[in-house]
Every structure is written in C-alpha cells, then in structure tokens.
Structure 1
Amino acid sequence: MPRYEFKEGSSSKFWEITLSDNTFTTRWGRIGTDGQEKTQTFGSAAEAQKEHDKLVREKEKKGYVIEGKGDDDEGGEDDGAEAASNPELEAAILKDPDNVDAYLVYADWLQSQGDPRGELIAIQHAASQASGAEATTLKKKATALIKKHQSLLFGELADAVKEGELTAEWHLGFIRSVRMGQKDYDSERDLGELTQELLALPSARFIRGITVGMASFDGENEYGDVISAIAKAGGSKTLQDLFIGDFEYPDDTEISWTHLTDISSALKVLPNLRTLRLRGGELALGDVDLPELREFTVETGGLPLNAVKSIASAKWPKLEKLEIWFGSDNYGAEGGVEDIQPILDGQGLPNLKHLGLRNSEFTDALAQALPSAVVLPRLEKLDISMGTLTNEGAKALADHAAAFAHLKQLDVSENILEDEGQSLISKAIPHANVGNQREYEEDYRYAAVGE
C-alpha cells in the first residue's frame, strides 16, 4: 500500500491507498497511529482507476510525498529472479483467457522456474477466494510482491510506473489493464514508445484494457504514435477495452486540439475489442469490422464526413451502445441526417439498445426523422443531448410521443429549448430528461462542444 506523508509545522499525517480491480482502500491519520480505513467500490475498474488517480493528484498538490521517496525502498529488488516463458501453457490461456485453471497450471510451472509471477498468481487467486481480513492481507502481500519485483514485472515500463505515468491493475499474476499518459507539462514521456514496450512486455501478454491519457501537454495532443505502435506490435488478441483520449477538457486541453488521427490500422489488429471509446478531433476510421464490439463512443467537437460514413457502414453485429458526438462545423463537423440513415434504419445493428446522437447542429432534423426510424423500437435509451434542439424540434417529438413511449430514457438535456419547448416535451413524454438547457440565441445556434 503506497504511503504518502505530510509534515509541516504541527502537521504530521499519513495517507495510503491500495487499488484492486474496481475497489480501492484508503487509510489515513496522524503518523504513529493506525489511523482510519475506508474501502470504496465502483462500477468498473476504469472508474476506480480514475478516482484513484484523482485522489493521488489531490494529495500531491497538498504537499503529500511518498514515504522514503528517493531511497532504495522505492524501486524494489528482484533478488536474481528471471522471467520465464512457456509458449504451450500461454497458448492454453490465450485460447480461454477466463479459465482460472489454466493460470494455476502456469503458476506451478513459473514457480518451478523461479519466476515471481507464479507466486503472484497463487496469491491473487487465493485473495479472490478469501474475504474480510484474510483477503485484505493477501492483497497487501500481492502488492508487496509486485513492488519487490518491479523491475522484472514491468521491465522498461518501471520508470513510467515510478513517475506515475503508468498505472496497472494486476490479475492472476499478469497485467489486466493499464492507464498511461503524460503527467504534466514537464513530462517528456513518449507514449508511442511506451505502448510498444507495453505490448512487448511478458507481464502484459494477456492484457484486457488500455486507457491512454494525455500524449502531450506541450503543443498538439496527438495519438498517431500510439496507433502506429499498436499496429506495428500486431495488436492483441486479448485486448477488450480501449479508451484513447482520457483527459479533462478544457482543463488539460481542448477537445479539438487533440488529434486521434487514422486509427484503422490499430482496429485491424484488435479483433476482440468489446468497448472502444475515442475522444478528440481529426478522426479517421476506415472500414470498421469489429465482430465482438458491444460499445462504441466517439466524443469530438468536429466529426468529419468520412468518419460519419465509416460509423454508418461499420460491421459490429453485437453492438449494444452507439454514442456519437458530431460537433460544430466550425471545428470540422460534416454530414447530416442523410449520412446516418443506415443507423436510423438499423442496418447491421440487431442488438442496439442505447443510441446517442449527441452534440449535433442538426438536432431539429433528427427530431423530425427519429419517430419513423426503423431502429427506434429496438432502443431502450435515446440520447440527443448537447445539440441544437429548438421549440420546432420539441414539437416534432411531442407530436409523435407514442413512438417514444417504450423508451426507458429519452435525453434532450443541454440543447437550446425555451420554456415552451421544454413544456411540450415534458407533457407529452413525461420520462424525458429536459433539464439543464443552454441559452437560446436565434442567430447563434451551436453544439455544446466545439473547440
């Protein structure tokens, strides 16, 4: 459990945090006491990781520093341990990555070779079967083992881990997911190189999730090198969750100052993706064929027409959630209702349940088209928030209220509805979310996020 301390004047405090999957435990108090302890659970490992990183940043801003930072305790020792590999046993895991028994067989072999990942598999499996104090003790033991063998387990990534620019979640002796990104303006970390090192790392050969934060605070935030590194490495057969663009806008950078670039080469070598989330501008997708994808989200201030057409013609038969931010034409947004007609017709989307057509400057036209959309009866949630829906569009929705009656959620928030339009929708479609409207200006209608 990483320990942070704050010593200033009469203050002498400590703070500790341990992350495990979708939970983390914090402990705090005066140095010399046991302090207080609290465990928080989140909806996903990514949510837990994000809150974990936020809390660490807050403590560091307040002056907390890692205990013993700069001395020998920080890096850990490998005690002569060496990484081992058994292609046959690894192939068994790759064939069925959820088969715990395959990991346990590998653990026995790794321990016989003196590879600490064997012991780590055994400890983490035992922790997953335990509860209460026993589980806590085992998780602490796993954390200590990872710290002790940090150089072996992380390889060339060890420096990035020490500097807080790569955080990892471990599962059964291997890295389950990572978040990587430059920490601040002083960082010189090359995320392309970091991605290449990650995908070549033995500890990451069964990785499930990658989240990419800021690629550069100094100048344009550009992800082309990350995409190239994924493509050159041949991708990953186990990667299921990819999020490129995990930054806060406008605090870190503007969304349209970020360049996603052409990601088609990466998508071709990630056949088992389940969720794909992209945030930024200048996106190209090419021909999308992701047979296992369940969720696709693109958050942008300006979606070019070629990307719109790629999404509309994509092959993702298992897709359940589709969320598109179109953006403003001032920042490169192109296309309209006619360009997403295949989506409205439900072509190739038999399992779609959540459709978000957000941040659009043609929301009134959407309101006219949606009541007769073939895809509408399949949906549970429809989100046309953050756009330019006016009273005219509100009337089109209200006049066809029956078409939306089956929805669990209809979101029209953050548009530019006046009181009349809000009232029309609220009366006709009581379950609609009409709150938090932006100011209406007759000659200046814009999507919520452009720059």
Structure 2
Amino acid sequence: MRSFVCQNERSNKFWRIERSGASYTVYFGRIGTGGRSLTKWFRSAEECERQAERIIAQKLKKGYLEEISLFVSLEDDRRLYLGSAMEIGQEEAPHPQFKRHFRHTIYSDWNHAHSPFGSPEGAGTLRALEELYLRWGHGAVSDDFPQLLLERDWDLFYVPPLQVAESDVAKLLNGPRLDRQSNAELLLANDRVLIASALGQIKIEGVVRPALKRGALLALERMDALFRLSGDSNGLAERAQIARDLAAFHRLA
C-alpha cells in the first residue's frame, strides 16, 4: 500500500492505494476519520498497474505528498537477505532498502516479462550472488563480479558497456561473431547480468558498489539501443523505470 497526504490551509486529507492483481482499492477522506474506500477492477494486472500509476501521478500533481517510513532498524539494515530465487517475490525476502526504493511489480513478480530477475541470466546472477554472500558475508561482491560470472562460471565472452550509442551497438551486431551465440544474444545476456548484479546486491545487502551501479545504468542504455535496432519497443517503459529507480538509489558500498 502507498499512502499520500495533502495538508495546507484548504486541505487536510489522506489518500491511499493498494493493488492486488487486476484490481486496486483506494482509501480516502479527512485525516483523523475512517474515510471511504473504492475498488476498481481491470482486465489484467498490467492494466491495473498502469491505471494506478496514472492516478498516483494525478494526486502528486494536485499537491499530495507520499508518506514513506524512513526508519529501518540497525539490526535489519545489517542483515543479509538471502533466499532462493523462487523466494524473491516473498515479502520478507528483499532487504528493507530494496523494498523501499524499488516498488514496481517488475522487481517482485518473476513472471513479469521484463523483471530484472525473471530471465535465466537474471535469476542465475542472483543465485550466484547469494552463494557468494553465503560463503563470504558482507562485502563479498567485487567490481568485476559480472565479468567473472560470465567468463569464468558461464564460459561466455564479456562485453563491457563502454560504447552504448546506437551506432556503436550496430557495429557490434554487424561485426564478427564474438562467441558461440549471436552477438545480439551475447549483448543481451551481458546486459541482463550487469543489471541483475547491481539490483541483486541491493536486494541482499541494501547497498550497491558504484561500479556495479554505473555498469547497470550503461547496460540499460545499451539494451535500449539493442531493442531499437531490432524494431522491438517492448519493455521500454520498464527499463526507463529501472534506470530512474537505480539512479536515485545512493546507498553505496
């Protein structure tokens, strides 16, 4: 549930919204009263999410401010939040900092087409991170984790996101094959690992290494270029959401 308030000389109101599958319920009224509630149903969870985000934007434009709890206990903040890949969607699985900053359903719903942990590469990256943390504890992740995972563990060619402009990506796609799979498939695998590495560290430890954050943001740019070149616009809004959320996250390791 997300909660908003509008308090000024003419207003003293609350407004809350709770999504559940293909429906959402809003609770609203004067602060200090029980208020009223209204539930709306949609054809799909995706449509419900879009409409919920639309109405939230309208409330923010009218002057409502979101209430966000800024308190996380020291004990909870220092814990490592480890769980199998199948448990990622459970409420207790992610670190509190992850739950606070990454609220979109793409982070918790592994069936979402554009979830950073929903692809084989994303899920595999998270599992590898968990194994690393189980063995070494806090600070287990290094800047070269994505490269080591791809080259040493998965025997794939590592393509660092140094050139992410569409023209540069086109050169890579049309150049000599770099690995056993096509260059397009290789770039996509690399970018999925880079993105999941940064988000996975936040999910487990509540912080992110600056190099992993930069790599993920560049990977998102390169992935956009890759999909544009293929004429596929799917996932554009979701990647933009991930980029905004990650760019706004400033708890660095």
What's the TM-score once normalised by structure 2's chain length? 0.43
Length-normalised TM-score, structure 1 = 0.26
| Bigger relative contact order (CA 8 A; separation at least 6) | 2
